[in-house]
Amino acid sequence: MLRGQSVEGKIVRVIVETVHPLNDKQQTHVHKKLQVLLPTKKVECFFKLNPSLLSGIRLDFGTLIVDDSVQAKLNDFVAQTKESLPVALSARSIMTHIEKHLKDFNNQPVVHTVGHVVSVLDGVARVVGLPDLMAGELVAFTSGAKGIVLNLNSEFVDVIILYASENIREGESVVGTRSKVTVPVGFGLLGRVINALGQPVDDLGEIAHTGYRVMQMPAPDLLSRVPVTKPVHTGILGIDALLAIGKGQRELVIGDRQTGKTTLLIDMILSQHECNKQARSLTDKMFCVYVAIGQKQSSVRDLIQVLTKAGALEDTIIVMAGASESAAMQYLAPYAGCAIAEYFRDNGMNAMVFYDDLSKHATAYREMSLLLKRPAGREAYPGDVFYLHSRLLERAGQMSSEYGGGSLTAIPVIETQEGDVSAYIPTNVISITDGQIFLESSLFHQGIKPALNVGLSVSRVGGAAQTPIMKKIAASVKLELAQYREVLAFSQLSSDLDVATQKLLNRGVRLTEILKQSQHQPLSLAEEVVRLLVGTKGYLDAIDLDIIPEFLKGLYPYVQKHAEDVIESIRVFGDLIDDEMALLDQTLQAYAQNFKSINERKEE
């Protein structure tokens, strides 16, 4: 039982724990057995009652524990089963998994070493006496705190403490759990606010989860994926028309602080909720996971209120690691959110995870690494900061039908300083993702919201993930906006412009007006199509800029009333036949003429 284990000291004091008291004969028998096992030591036994063992015996050698109790074996079985438990909707598959583990279960005493804390400083505990720990293993302190092993050395390990670090004292005992950090997953998390460990923080009671999932899982292999071709409707016209996002894509939102990055994410979540109302099955729905990293609690509370008011919280899970929480919790939060979203992906559904933001995530990891005395590199970040984000974002993707056909779409956020996209962390994440949505401060202050810089923004999936109708009409918008930006710079240097240039500038400034949207008011696909067509067909060219918002306000209700079948075709099929396109064109022309006539009468 003790073969291969080291018990230090010439005198070995053993605490023998049992459920019921042992008589003198039994105590003598235990003492002799231990003395035979340790012939070169003098064994001293101390007998203690421990009803929590249920049955059996537990031997505590100080640096080594041999637990042959029923409770230890039950805990060991649960830990092994939970770590590899399939996160499936079928109760039958879960029962089959448990039965298999029961057959294979090794009914041997649980042997583990006990370490001790030698120092605690700034949330990092240095522990000795645990040579069999693995990197990333969860360890438990006797004070109730838990931590993760990050540094492995020949004589000690460094543990980053997750919570309750103030209770840890030097000399305290530490044991390994033989498991990585896991998070609960399942439909029971929808509508809830949890921390990075999956514990509820919304005062709504316990979470009815389906199972557990290891936070830091490897990304799906290449053969299990298929190209990104299915569109994600964000409800933001500038994105859906010019920078289409597909299911399984990784699209970065980047910009300075206070440029509307979080508002953009909220609008995407609200749009998914509206789309989910029309979903025919679970596989047509898009479930959202919002991860708040290093944010103020008041900001997250405001976001929750917006989602609750719109009813969108029922399709959303919020993982919160606020600015007041430890760097370790902020480090874990994105991986927790990704693992939760993977539950839906692996069960043939669609999930969208928002990391707001990864700049603060990198800062938290830098803080941890410096405390662990790891070598600092560029901007004091550790050398593996690229791997920190690549292993997270690579988990997004569209799975093939053989692997369930689910998808995981990742929307990371990066905060820049003075618009500098060439800094270390921004360039890292740009190189990992499939495109970026760049929000510019100058546009934001000009009142262009969302402050989308069309020139610097890009989607490497693009038209492959657009609906057919959007692909038809958006191509001309991209071209006209590109020409407008090019001519605009030269027009500021000259007051004498030819007719063609004036027409191009006139069209470009009106297309820019069309792309403006009020916050928390995502558009349906039909609304986006109608808006784009009225701009590209030139019906806005004769409308003054200051009354365009009024024009757009009455546009969609008029089209709904006079071309209802066209709107329904866009909603159901995502495309229009020639006759329907002609009818829509006539309706838009009629509305423009009516609006112009009414406006002229007002002026008279």
Q: Give yes or no: 510 in active site.
A: no
User: Could you say which DSSP state residue 51 is in?
Assistant: G
Residue 593 corresponds to which tokens in the numbers above?
């003429």
Residues 511 and 476 in one domain: yes
DSSP 8-state secondary structure symbol assigned to residue 523: P
Are 427 and 545 within one domain?
no
Per the structure block, which two tokens stand in for 388?
């920190």
Q: Decide the pairing of beta strands 11-18 and 42-49.
A: parallel
In a domain, 432, yes or no: yes
Please check the confidence at residue 502 and state whether its pLDDT lies above 90: no
Question: What are the DSSP E strand ranges found in 301-401?
Answer: 316-321, 350-356, 397-398
pLDDT confidence bin for 495, thresholds 50/70/90: low
**CATH code: domain of residue 391:** 3.40.50.300
One domain for residues 429 and 565: no
Marked catalytic residue, from 3, 460, 510, 531: 460
**pLDDT tier for residue 1 given thresholds of 50, 70 and 90:** very low
Q: What is the pLDDT of residue 5?
A: 47
Q: Is residue 71 part of a domain?
A: no
Give this prediction's pTM.
0.86
pLDDT at 82: 64
| 114 found inside a domain | yes
Residue after which a domain boundary falls, among 181, 214, 236:
181
What's residue 403's pLDDT?
93
pLDDT at 4 (0 to 100): 40
Q: Looking at residue 114, what is its pLDDT?
A: 84
- 61-109: per-residue pLDDT in tens? 777 788 888 888 787 777 666 655 555 456 676 777 677 767 766 677 7
Alpha carbons 288 and 286: distance in angstroms, whole number: 6
pLDDT band at 10 (very low <50, low <70, confident <90, very high): confident
Based on the domain organization, do 235 and 321 belong to the same domain? yes
- Beta strand pairing status for 458-459 and 231-232? unpaired
Same domain, 146 and 251: no
How confident is the model over 118-172, as pLDDT tens digits?
A: 999 888 999 998 888 888 899 989 888 999 999 998 889 999 998 878 889 898 8
Helix pair angle (548-562, 499-514), 10° resolution: 70
Helix and strand tally (H, E) in the chain? 17, 23
pLDDT score of 8:
55
Interhelix angle 548-562/564-573, nearest 10 degrees: 90
- Same domain, yes or no, for 320 and 451? yes
pLDDT at res. 91: 66
Task: Name the percent of the chain lying above pLDDT 70.
Answer: 94
In a domain, 80, yes or no: no
Query: Cβ(444)–Cβ(286) under 8 Å?
Result: no
Q: Which of 7-16, 208-217, 269-278, 496-505 is modeled with the greatest confidence?
A: 269-278
User: Which element (helix H / strand E) includes 129?
Assistant: none
What pLDDT sits at residue 154?
Answer: 86
Of the candidates 572, 176, 254, 583, the residue with the CA atom closest to the CA atom of residue 435: 254
Please tell me whether residues 285 and 332 are part of one structural domain. Answer: yes
Q: In a 10 Å sphere around its CB, with 0-12 CB exposed, 13-18 middle and 19+ buried, how is residue 428 labelled?
A: buried
Instruction: Name the residue range of residue 168's domain.
Output: 109-181
Q: Looking at the structure, do residues 155 and 285 belong to the same domain, yes or no? A: no
Q: Which residues contact 579 (CB under 8 A, 6 or more apart)?
A: none
Residue 427 resides in a domain: yes
Q: Assess contact for 278 and 426: CB atoms under 8 A.
A: no
Weakest-pLDDT range from 116-120, 174-178, 230-234? 174-178
Q: Is the Cβ–Cβ distance between 509 and 447 less than 8 Å? A: no
Place of tokens 């284990």: 5
CA distance 119 to 372: 13
From 445, 463, 481, the end of a domain falls on 463
pLDDT tens per residue, range 247-269: 999 999 999 999 999 999 999 99
Give me the CATH number covering residue 517: 1.20.150.20
Check residue 7 and give its pLDDT: 54
- Assess whether pLDDT exceeds 70 at residue 444: yes
Total of domains in the chain: 3
Give the pLDDT mean for 14-21.
89
Considering the domain boundaries, does residue 210 fall inside one?
no
* Mean per-residue pLDDT, 336-342: 96
| pLDDT, tens digit, 9 for 90 and up, residues 547-567 | 998 999 999 999 999 999 999
Vertex 191 angle, CA 185 and 193, to 5°: 75
Q: Are residues 395 and 248 in the same domain?
A: yes
* Residue 283: inside a domain: yes
549 in the same domain as 456: no
Co-location of 267 and 405 in the same domain = yes
Angle at 268 between CA 267 and CA 271, to 5 degrees: 85
Phi/psi of residue 294, each to 5°? 65, 25
Residue finishing a domain among 181, 210, 245: 181
The pLDDT value recorded for residue 71 is: 83
Locate 454 and state its tokens: 């069309």
Does some domain include residue 160? yes
Q: Say yes or no: 450 and 313 in one domain.
A: yes
Q: What is the CATH number of the domain that holds 163?
A: 2.40.30.20
Q: Are 356 and 293 in contact (CB under 8 A)?
A: yes
